[in-house]
Amino acid sequence: MELTFTSIGFIVFLVVCLGFIHASGKLSVRTWLLIIFSYLFYLTFGIGGALVVTFTAVADFIVGHRLGNTIREVTRKRWLWVGLAANLGPLVFFKYSGFFVEIIATFLHPLGVHLSSPAHPVVSIIGLSYFTFAGISYVVDIYWEATPPARNFSEFFCYLVYFPKLIAGPIVRASDFLPQFSQGFKIKAQDFETGCGYLLFGAVKKLVIADQLASHVGLIMAAPQHFSAWTLVQGMIGYGVQIYADFSGYSDMAIGCARLMGIKFPQNFLMPYSSVNIAEFWRRWHVTMSYWFRDYVFLPLEFGSRGVRSVNVRASRNIVITMILCGLWHGPSWNFVAWGGLHGVALAAYQIYAAARPRHSSKEIRSALHLGTVGARVLTLSVVMVGWVFFGTSTLAMAVVYLWRMLTWAGDGVGLGSAFILPITALVFLVHLLVAKDRNLVEDLPSYSVSARVFTYGCLLLALTSLVPSDAVPFVYVRF
Amino acid sequence: MISDQLKTAILGALKLDDWELTESTIAAEVPGWDSLSHVNVMLAVEKHFGIRFKSVEVLRLTNVGELQRLVNSKLTKQS
């Protein structure tokens, strides 16, 4: 029985875990208890992941320790490569080997060479992409001397396997997590309310918004050739809202679980559909992943190729490479490559536009930020929503059919009358339009009046008890 | 203390007429200074001061104050 965040089993598990953690006095005891509970959590998803994460934790700790104690640059570089191989090896083997063999087989087939490709993924390891990235960031940050190695193995082990973030992030850096050990997981009254607030908000986003959309949107995405253009538009927007509510809901619950133990996670979604350009979107959507690719892929590519004379050529090439890798991170599929490529081209185009724009005075910049033009938002949202078609369909061919039928406004096909898609998506977009984009209601709530808080939490609980569909839908981002 | 020369280099790369830059200013607080423009800002600073950064040195920077100290150390080594 998998312990998904929205299951009754997980609530029981969390309560028991919190009881043990807060009843323990010593930090070392709390640390090992968290490791044990994290393994118990992870084992409900299968033993493979537990074995791989153990290997990754041991390898990364050893590499980090060696990097921290070695001065000679040549030796440090060798340890860096060992660390990267130890992290990327399992990821490439388990997740991508079948995909890569399939590509090679396609090229060799005309030459009469037939390769049988293994299934992809070879074995599904839930959370592999997430803890691999956490491990890479640890090793690279130590190499860059941006963070010291962990004080001891138990603290590093706890960081890597910590269950609130293990299977679908946020991708928390060791430099954000490890210093919090010295605070000993002390929880204040406000932490308790905020943690519960995140859990409630996250559950509502997932169960009330995402799951209500899922069945209708899923039907449309599975067979676009059968639906009219207007239905396809609704399906596209519905999927965009579904995936936002699903994943931001998961992230909220992860942040809430950690906060109940006195641990602060970074925010992962910052009202992304309020963005006025695609660059801003990527500062607000899956922030921890976006910043990971920025720091460990894009910026090193940029600095490594600064000899390229043309700024636009250099930056555009590196943006597209980064976004294609970002797409591939989601899974071994041409759909994700296409999605990443689309965002790469959009970001490159924006970069060229931003570099060519005239000089601004600070006052002019500030007023433009406050206005946030409707047209810019609509354009940004349009690009993002088109990208989601590649995410939601199962093959590239299906995505092309989907987009072509919308583009040509196909009149044939069934109209799916969903009572949920338009009202729910309108509500979410309205919130993104009207609420200040950098506002965090969950963090602000404890400072409101008691009556306001009781009303808010009461509404959330009412929504959870009355608006949740009967069929449970798995979290979308757990499969990446 | 952020020198006027560094301010000129940064604001020039970002095409900003003015913006307050302090020791603790981070890129996200400055309009237009994002990952897409970051390398251009660094290259502009290199060109302005006639110095060269290593990639690792720049990737470690967290605020303008650290950039100022890095520039100062480069200039000190050169002289």
Does A475 map to a domain? no
Does A138 map to a domain? yes
Which residue is it, tokens 């602000």? Answer: A444
**In this predicted model, what pLDDT tens digit does every residue of A103-139 receive, in sequence order?**
888 888 888 877 776 656 667 888 999 999 999 999 9
Model pTM score: 0.92
Does A479 map to a domain? no
Residues of A in contact with B57 (CB under 8 A): none
**The two structure tokens encoding residue A296:** 């460990």
* A441 & A324 share domain: yes
* A57 & A28 share domain: yes
Nearest to A254 by CA among A177, A328, A353: A177
pLDDT at residue A359, as a whole number: 64
pLDDT at residue A166, as a whole number: 94
Q: What percent of chain B has pLDDT over 70?
A: 100
A184: pLDDT strictly greater than 50: yes
Does A154 map to a domain? yes
pLDDT at residue A118, as a whole number: 61
* A456 & A360 share domain: yes
Are residues A144 and B60, on separate chains, in Cβ contact within 8 Å? Answer: yes
Average pLDDT, chain A: 90
Residues of B in contact with A73 (CB under 8 A): none
pLDDT at residue B62, as a whole number: 86
Question: In a mutagenesis test of the B interface, which of A80, A140, A299, A361 is the best target, namely the one with the most B β-carbons within 10 Å?
Answer: A299
Are residues B18 and A355, on separate chains, in Cβ contact within 8 Å? Answer: no
**In this predicted model, what pLDDT tens digit does every residue of A314-364 receive, in sequence order?**
999 999 999 999 999 999 999 999 999 999 999 999 999 888 877 665 555
Average pLDDT over residues A147-169: 94
* A64 & A209 share domain: no
A377 to chain B, closest Cα gap in Å:
17
Are residues B18 and A362, on separate chains, in Cβ contact within 8 Å? Answer: yes
* A48 & A125 share domain: yes
Nearest by CB to residue B56, choosing from A144, A360, A362, is A144
* A164 & A240 share domain: no
pLDDT at residue A366, as a whole number: 46
| Number of separate domains in chain A | 2
Q: Are A172 and A288 in contact (CB under 8 A)?
A: yes
Does A107 map to a domain? yes
* A156 & A288 share domain: no
pLDDT at residue A53, as a whole number: 95
Are residues A300 and B28, on separate chains, in Cβ contact within 8 Å? Answer: no
Q: What percent of chain A has pLDDT over 90?
A: 69
- How far CA A387 is from CA of A118, A330, A416, B16, in Å, comes to 29, 13, 22, 32
* A430 & A414 share domain: yes
Does A216 map to a domain? yes
pLDDT at residue A370, as a whole number: 52
Nearest by CB to residue A354, choosing from B32, B38, B58, is B32
Are residues A365 and B31, on separate chains, in Cβ contact within 8 Å? Answer: yes
Question: In a mutagenesis test of the B interface, which of A80, A313, A362 is the best target, namely the one with the most B β-carbons within 10 Å?
Answer: A362
Strand partners, A414: A227
Active site residues of A: 330
At which of A161, A186, A211 does a domain end?
Answer: A186
Residues of B in contact with A319 (CB under 8 A): 36
Does A480 map to a domain? no
Residues of B in contact with A360 (CB under 8 A): 15-17, 31-32
A:B CB pairs within 8 Å: 69
* A97 & A33 share domain: yes
- β strands within A163-286, DSSP E: none
A145 to chain B, closest Cα gap in Å:
8
Does A477 map to a domain? no
For B4-78, CATH number out of 1.10.1200.10, 2.130.10.10, 3.40.50.300, 2.40.37.10 equals 1.10.1200.10
* A93 & A213 share domain: no
pLDDT at residue B54, as a whole number: 85
Percent helix, strand and coil across chain A, each to the nearest 5: 75, 0, 25
Q: What is the ipTM of this complex?
A: 0.86
A244 to chain B, closest Cα gap in Å:
23
Sketch the domain layout of chain B as residue ranges: 4-78
Which residue is it, tokens 């992409």? Answer: A129
Does the CB of B51 have a partner CB in chain A at under 8 Å? no
Are residues A303 and B18, on separate chains, in Cβ contact within 8 Å? Answer: no
**In this predicted model, what pLDDT tens digit does every residue of B2-19 receive, in sequence order?**
899 999 999 998 888 888
- Residue A394 backbone phi and psi in degrees, to 5: -90, -20
**In this predicted model, what pLDDT tens digit does every residue of A10-40 receive, in sequence order?**
999 999 999 999 898 888 999 999 999 999 9
**The two structure tokens encoding residue A292:** 């990971």
Does the CB of B32 have a partner CB in chain A at under 8 Å? yes
Residues of A in contact with B35 (CB under 8 A): 294, 298-299
pLDDT at residue A122, as a whole number: 65
**The two structure tokens encoding residue A283:** 């500062």
* A180 & A32 share domain: yes
**In this predicted model, what pLDDT tens digit does every residue of A42-91 receive, in sequence order?**
999 999 999 999 999 999 999 999 999 999 999 999 999 999 999 999 99
Are residues B59 and A295, on separate chains, in Cβ contact within 8 Å? Answer: yes
Are residues B35 and A299, on separate chains, in Cβ contact within 8 Å? Answer: yes
Distance of CA B69 to the CA centre of its chain: 10
Domain that holds residue A22: 8-186
At which of A156, A186, A216 does a domain end?
Answer: A186
Which band of pLDDT confidence, cut at 50, 70 and 90, is reported for residue A143? very high
Residues of A in contact with B43 (CB under 8 A): 306
A367: pLDDT strictly greater than 60: no
Which band of pLDDT confidence, cut at 50, 70 and 90, is reported for residue A177? very high
Nearest by CB to residue B55, choosing from A283, A304, A358, is A304
Does the CB of B7 have a partner CB in chain A at under 8 Å? no
Are residues B58 and A347, on separate chains, in Cβ contact within 8 Å? Answer: no
Strand partners, A227: A414
* A164 & A290 share domain: no
At which of A186, A206, A222 does a domain end?
Answer: A186
Residue B34: closest CA among chain A residues belongs to which residue? A279
B67: pLDDT strictly greater than 90: yes
Q: What percent of chain A has pLDDT over 70?
A: 95
Return d(Cα A350, Cα A345) in angstroms, integer: 9
Average pLDDT over residues A140-168: 94
Residues of B in contact with A311 (CB under 8 A): 40
pLDDT at residue A368, as a whole number: 39
